[in-house]
Amino acid sequence: MDARQLDGLYARLWRAYGPQNWWPTTDVDNPRFEILIGAVLTQHTAWTQVEKAIATLRAAGPMTPDALLAYGQQLPELIREAGPHNIKAKRLQTLCRWFVDNGGFEVLDARATGDLRAALKSCRGIGPETADAILVYAFDRPQFIADAYAFRIFERLGLWSAPRHYESLRECVEQAAGPRDSQHFNELHALLVAHAKRCCRKRVPACLECCLYDRCAFAASQHAPRPGRAT
């Protein structure tokens, strides 16, 4: 994978889907902290369910780390709609305690990206993907989020053939991208998710509707060339 291939992919997805304006938040008072909550709740859970859980939390009170910690044993019930609620409640409480103990955004914003990433990953239940999502969307750090959608698309395009190792793909994409700001990686991740959900689906991909059709090794192996359509 090189810069030309990555830039071409980005350009086509941008033309097809436009800016995604991620991360979607609803709490005007604490939007950055809501991103931390959402990053945990969306683990192995559809975003539609996360939205329901966040709405319940908002109705219960302020979306702050102190408030979530104060809920104690009530927290699992408040986030029940976001999947394994007991596990995620413990993860949220661990993240909230870490956030408070480390001075909140005022102090954390000053930490170097590598140091902040390591600190996030030290929290129980915060793996590299969740940590990178928090870094990109809550802290405006230029990190690539190598999630399952990214692997699927890069594999089908023939841009990735190695085993699915998170750090390997993240480093490969970041190296190919070169120096970029956080907004670039924000949009790249959001566009890949949009494409994976709308077109490059896991079981029944809509290859004939794909804006990447003529560059996709998977589509070429499954379909005849698509005539008369500019890409």
CATH number at residue 191: 1.10.1670.10
Give residue 224's pLDDT: 56
Give residue 137's pLDDT: 96
- Is 107 domain-assigned? yes
Q: Are 54 and 123 in the same domain?
A: yes
Give residue 219's pLDDT: 87
Q: At what angle do helices 148-157 and 182-198 cross, to 10 degrees?
A: 80
- Is 124 domain-assigned? yes
Q: Are 149 and 131 in the same domain?
A: no
Q: Are 37 and 122 in the same domain?
A: yes
Q: Are 103 and 192 in the same domain?
A: no
Portion of the chain with pLDDT greater than 90, in percent: 88
Give residue 153's pLDDT: 97
Number of structural domains found in the chain: 2
Q: Give the three-class secondary structure for 125.
A: coil
Q: Are 123 and 46 in the same domain?
A: yes
Are 113 and 143 in contact by the 8 Å Cβ rule? The answer is yes
The closest of 167, 153, 154 to 202, measured between CA atoms, is 153
Give residue 230's pLDDT: 44
Q: Are 150 and 130 in the same domain?
A: no
- Is 230 domain-assigned? no
Q: What is the CATH number of the domain that holds 124?
A: 1.10.340.30
Final residue in a domain of this structure, among 75, 106, 139: 139
| DSSP states of 145-208 | ---HHHHHHHHHHTS--S---HHHHHHHHHHHH-S--HHHHHHHHHHHHHHHHHTS-SSS--GG
Q: Are 39 and 129 in the same domain?
A: yes
Give residue 67's pLDDT: 94
Q: 46-97: per-residue pLDDT in tens?
A: 999 999 999 999 999 999 999 999 999 999 999 999 989 999 999 999 999 9
Cα Rg, the chain, nearest whole Å: 19
Give residue 83's pLDDT: 87
- Tell me how far CA of residue 55 lies from CA of 26, 37, 50, 61, 180, in angstroms: 8, 12, 9, 10, 34
- Tell me how far CA of residue 100 lies from CA of 75, 80, 93, in angstroms: 17, 24, 11
Q: Which residues of the chain have pLDDT under 50?
A: 229-231
- Is 229 domain-assigned? no
Q: Are 170 and 128 in the same domain?
A: no
Q: Are 115 and 203 in the same domain?
A: no
Give residue 220's pLDDT: 85
User: What domain range is 57 assigned to?
Assistant: 31-139
CA dist 207 and 200 (Å) reads 7
Q: At what angle do helices 85-101 and 31-41 cross, to 10 degrees?
A: 140
Taking all residues of the chain, what is their mean pLDDT, rounded to a whole number? 93
Helix (H) or strand (E) run with residue 130 in it: helix 128-139
128: its two tokens: 């590299």
Give residue 222's pLDDT: 79
The closest of 161, 214, 217, 212 to 191, measured between CA atoms, is 212
